[in-house]
């Protein structure tokens, strides 16, 4: 369930019409705490409630740890407000604003309260704060008992467009999360296609779905997805074209995003071990969810660029029709691949998507995003995605988009010395390392994918760690994080 976000005037009258007023305090040097809010709000609030906020703060002996919140009961005539939250933003860095916003949101999650937040002053921080409010307040459940309500956030900001943009991104993140949270007995590749069609309805997004015999050339998607005969795999192509095509402008850049959409990953015949690892595998379509949700945001933001999302959707089931270790398959475009471990299914479906894009779509940028390897989590944990590209300029742009948006990426090397481990005696290549003993599972997967990217400006994001949270903390609920939506939207908006 996602909360609502709106801009509110930087005025005492707007603040006191909310149930809660959230204000920020920063640690500006040794133990000196300073209240930070736009305009004259601090002074006006102190006058209105006949209170001295710094005195109140010192009463609590704050440590100033980001997200630390003190709640002050207040009342005044002609005022709806009954609480003020004083929220620590630490050094005031944008990343601290995000954590502080998530902490405020968590305090009101599941409650029907209105919160006027005046916690940030500059535009980047306000936008980051706004999006993180909705991220922290997000809840998803199939419990029959529903939460009491959803909070409404009124962000003190006179720039309505800025908050509208934040609301669009917030909605898209919630959409991606909803898809990831949905259990795999409900979501299958056909369901993913129906969601794409539902989101595209009455918008300018176009959706094309291929299934059954139409997937003959998609050897990777078929080999993985035919393990689950009903309803079988789906290739879902979603296209965004800006409404205002400027005829005199140079041809628009074309971005193709390819997302891994494994609706459940048992590992196939190479069954996942230990079995507990399987529980999180309903999240193995987080890449496809991220690219679809990103397009819904772009449709509202209307950047002047063409974007195609390819959702490579299949279930990696274990059944009599499942592929076997030692099978040789033919990927889209003809490359033959010797299958070593059927649990490395993600790269097989992505390879079809990358080759399809290279052969048919003439992309200026080719970006894939996938919960691809446990190794990515081992090396970077859950706060950074592993990023691979040969293109230094593109890498820099993504690192910046990651820091600016909050979906952070870390550049990893495509180590040429390891390529020989993908040599097969009977096919063009193997899909996992058979020799060499290089380990580096995330690097090996990236080297495999690179073979299908043609000579495009290609970039690969391994979000195995960042796509799912195992704890309910900070911006993220336990489950799908929506990682990639902020990053891809930010990048495309600045293209
Ligand atoms: N979906 C998994 C990767 C994964 C693991 C995502 C943990 C999120 C959390 C992927 O399909 C997989 O099983 N990869 C294997 C590859 C190996 C068999 C070469 C892995 O990483 O162990
Ligand atoms: Zn797998
Ligand atoms: Zn997988």
Q: What tens digit of pLDDT does each residue of 270-307 get?
A: 999 999 999 999 999 999 999 999 999 999 999 999 99
- From the CA of 137, how far away is ligand 1's center (Å)? 30
Indicate whether 177 and 293 sit together in one domain. Answer: yes
> Would you say residue 188 lies in a domain?
yes
Ligand minimally distant from the alpha carbon of residue 468:
1
Q: Which residue, judged by its Cα, is nearest atom 19 of ligand 1?
A: 344
> Would you say residue 392 lies in a domain?
yes
Cross-strand bridge partners of residue 237: 208, 310
Ligand minimally distant from the alpha carbon of residue 372:
1
Q: What is the mean pLDDT of residues 402-417?
A: 98
In which order are the strands placed within the sheet that holds 336-338? 328-330, 336-338, 429-430
Indicate whether 389 and 298 sit together in one domain. Answer: yes
| Chain position carrying tokens 């742009």 | 397
Spatial separation of the C-alpha atoms in residues 4 and 442, rounded to whole Å: 38
Q: How confident is the model at residue 437 (pLDDT cuts 50, 70, 90)?
A: confident
Q: What is the mean pLDDT of residues 114-130?
A: 98
Whether pLDDT at 246 is above 80: no
Indicate whether 461 and 405 sit together in one domain. Answer: yes
- From the CA of 344, how far away is ligand 1's center (Å)? 6
Whether pLDDT at 434 is above 70: yes
Indicate whether 93 and 215 sit together in one domain. Answer: no
Q: What is the 3-state secondary structure (H, E, C) of 134-163?
A: HHHHCCCCCCCCCCCCCCEEEEECCCHHHH
Q: What is the pLDDT at residue 229? A: 84
Indicate whether 115 and 145 sit together in one domain. Answer: yes
How confident is the prediction for the chain on average, in pLDDT? Answer: 97
> Would you say residue 166 lies in a domain?
no
Q: What is the pLDDT at residue 11? A: 97
Q: What is the pLDDT at residue 28? A: 81
pLDDT tens, residue by residue, 60-113: 999 999 999 999 999 999 899 999 999 999 999 999 999 999 999 999 999 999
What's 260's domain CATH number?
3.40.630.10
Whether pLDDT at 223 is above 70: yes
Whether pLDDT at 171 is above 90: yes
Q: Which residue, judged by its Cα, is nearest atom 5 of ligand 1?
A: 374
Indicate whether 177 and 98 sit together in one domain. Answer: no
Nearest atom in ligand 1 to the alpha carbon of residue 376 is 21
Overall number of domains in the chain: 2
Nearest atom in ligand 1 to the alpha carbon of residue 432 is 19
Q: Which of 260, 373, 436, 467 is the best mutation target for the ligand 1 pocket, counting ligand atoms within 8 Å of the beta carbon and taking the most? A: 373
Q: What is the pLDDT at residue 285? A: 99
Ligand minimally distant from the alpha carbon of residue 341:
1
Whether pLDDT at 192 is above 80: yes
Tokens of 436: 């060499």
Nearest atom in ligand 1 to the alpha carbon of residue 346 is 11
> Would you say residue 163 lies in a domain?
no
Q: How confident is the model at residue 474 (pLDDT cuts 50, 70, 90)?
A: very high
> Would you say residue 167 lies in a domain?
no
Q: What is the pLDDT at residue 31? A: 74
Q: Which domain holds residue 90?
A: 4-158
What share of the chain in percent tops pLDDT 90?
95
What are the phi and psi torsion angles at 345 (to 5°)? -80, -25
Spatial separation of the C-alpha atoms in residues 189 and 235, rounded to whole Å: 9
Whether pLDDT at 404 is above 80: yes
- From the CA of 187, how far away is ligand 2's center (Å)? 17
Instruction: Decide which of 127, 158, 189 is a domain's last residue.
Output: 158
Q: What is the pLDDT at residue 248? A: 62
Q: What is the pLDDT at residue 131? A: 98
- From the CA of 436, how far away is ligand 3's center (Å)? 23
Q: What is the mean pLDDT of residues 112-127?
A: 98
Cross-strand bridge partners of residue 69: 87
Ligand minimally distant from the alpha carbon of residue 312:
3
Indicate whether 329 and 285 sit together in one domain. Answer: yes
Q: How confident is the model at residue 36 (pLDDT cuts 50, 70, 90)?
A: very high
Catalytic machinery residues: 272, 347
Pairing of the two strands 206-210 and 234-240: antiparallel
Write out residues with Cβ below 6 Å of ligand 1: 265, 280, 284, 341, 343-346, 371-375, 377, 432, 441, 464
What share of the chain in percent tops pLDDT 70?
99
Q: Which residue, judged by its Cα, is nearest atom 8 of ligand 1?
A: 464
- From the CA of 218, how far away is ligand 1's center (Å)? 21
Spatial separation of the C-alpha atoms in residues 116 and 130, rounded to whole Å: 11
112-to-2, 19, 132, 145, 302 alpha-carbon distances in Å: 12, 10, 18, 15, 32
What's 114's domain CATH number?
3.40.220.10
Phi-psi region of 434 (alpha: psi -120 to 50; beta: other; left: phi over 0): alpha
Indicate whether 146 and 217 sit together in one domain. Answer: no
- From the CA of 264, how far away is ligand 3's center (Å)? 8
Other beta carbons within 10 Å of 335: 18
Q: What is the pLDDT at residue 249? A: 65
| Chain position carrying tokens 């920020």 | 24
In which order are the strands placed within the sheet that holds 458-462? 206-210, 234-240, 306-316, 254-265, 365-370, 458-462, 384-389, 408-411
Q: Which of 312, 323, 432, 464 is the best mutation target for the ligand 1 pocket, counting ligand atoms within 8 Å of the beta carbon and taking the most? A: 464
Nearest atom in ligand 1 to the alpha carbon of residue 442 is 21
Tokens of 188: 């299958």
> Would you say residue 92 lies in a domain?
yes
Nearest atom in ligand 1 to the alpha carbon of residue 373 is 21
Indicate whether 486 and 386 sit together in one domain. Answer: yes
Instruction: Decide which of 102, 132, 158 is a domain's last residue.
Output: 158
- Peptide bond preceding 325: is omega within 30 degrees of 0, i.e. cis? no
Q: What is the mean pLDDT of residues 108-120?
A: 97
Whether pLDDT at 2 is above 90: no
Identify which of 492, 65, 30, 16 has the alpha carbon closest to the alpha carbon of residue 299. 492
Q: How confident is the model at residue 29 (pLDDT cuts 50, 70, 90)?
A: confident
> Would you say residue 409 lies in a domain?
yes
Indicate whether 325 and 380 sit together in one domain. Answer: yes
What are the phi and psi torsion angles at 17 (to 5°)? -95, 5
Q: What is the mean pLDDT of residues 219-240?
A: 97
Q: What is the mean pLDDT of residues 148-172?
A: 97
Identify which of 2, 12, 14 has the alpha carbon closest to the alpha carbon of residue 46. 12
Whether pLDDT at 165 is above 70: yes
Indicate whether 154 and 188 sit together in one domain. Answer: no
Indicate whether 108 and 197 sit together in one domain. Answer: no
Cross-strand bridge partners of residue 114: 152
> Would you say residue 14 lies in a domain?
yes
Q: What is the pLDDT at residue 23? A: 98
């Amino acid at each position: 369930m996602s909360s609502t976000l709106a801009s509110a005037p930087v005025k005492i009258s707007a603040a006191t019409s909310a149930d809660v007023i959230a204000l920020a305090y920063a640690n500006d040097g040794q133990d000196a705490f300073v209240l930070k809010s736009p305009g004259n709000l601090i002074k006006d609030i102190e006058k209105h409630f006949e209170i001295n906020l710094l005195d109140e703060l010192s009463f609590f002996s704050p440590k100033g740890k980001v997200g630390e919140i003190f709640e002050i009961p207040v009342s005044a005539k002609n005022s709806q407000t009954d609480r003020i939250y004083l929220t620590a933003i630490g050094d005031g860095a944008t990343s601290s604003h995000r954590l502080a916003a998530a902490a405020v949101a968590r305090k009101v999650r599941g409650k029907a309260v209105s919160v006027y937040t005046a916690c940030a002053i500059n535009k980047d921080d306000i936008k980051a704060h706004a999006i993180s409010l909705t991220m922290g307040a997000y809840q998803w459940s199939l419990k029959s008992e529903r939460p009491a309500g959803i909070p409404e956030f009124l962000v003190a900001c006179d720039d309505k467009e800025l908050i509208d943009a934040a609301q669009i991104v917030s909605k898209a993140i919630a959409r991606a999360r909803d898809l990831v949270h949905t259990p795999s007995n409900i979501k299958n590749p056909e369901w993913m296609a129906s969601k794409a069609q539902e989101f595209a309805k009455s918008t300018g997004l176009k959706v094309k779905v291929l299934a059954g015999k139409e997937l003959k050339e998609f050897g990777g998607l078929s080999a993985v997805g035919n393990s689950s005969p009903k309803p079988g795999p789906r290739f879902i192509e979603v296209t965004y074209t800006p409404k205002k095509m400027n005829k005199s402008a140079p041809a628009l850049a074309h971005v193709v995003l390819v997302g891994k959409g494994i609706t459940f990953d048992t590992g196939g015949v190479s069954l996942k071990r230990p079995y507990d690892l399987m529980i999180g595998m309903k999240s193995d379509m987080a890449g496809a969810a991220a690219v679809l949700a990103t397009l819904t945001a772009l449709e509202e933001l209307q950047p002047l660029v063409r974007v195609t999302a390819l959702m490579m959707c299949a279930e990696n089931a274990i059944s009599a029709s499942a592929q076997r270790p030692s099978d040789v398959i033919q990927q889209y475009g003809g490359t033959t691949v010797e299958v070593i471990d059927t649990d490395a299914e993600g790269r097989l479906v992505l390879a079809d998507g990358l080759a399809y894009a290279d052969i048919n779509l003439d992309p200026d940028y080719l970006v894939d995003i996938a919960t691809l390897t446990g190794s990515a989590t081992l090396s970077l944990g859950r706060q950074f995605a592993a990023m691979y590209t040969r293109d230094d300029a593109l890498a820099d742009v993504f690192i910046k988009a990651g820091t600016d948006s909050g979906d952070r990426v870390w550049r990893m090397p495509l180590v040429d010395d390891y390529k020989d481990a993908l040599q097969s005696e009977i096919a063009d290549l193997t899909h996992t390392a058979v020799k060499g003993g290089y380990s580096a599972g995330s690097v090996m997967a990236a080297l495999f994918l690179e073979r299908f990217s043609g000579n495009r400006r290609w970039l690969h994001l391994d979000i195995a760690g960042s796509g799912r949270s195992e704890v309910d903390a900070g911006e993220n609920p336990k489950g799908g994080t929506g990682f990639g939506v902020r990053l891809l939207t930010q990048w495309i908006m600045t293209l």
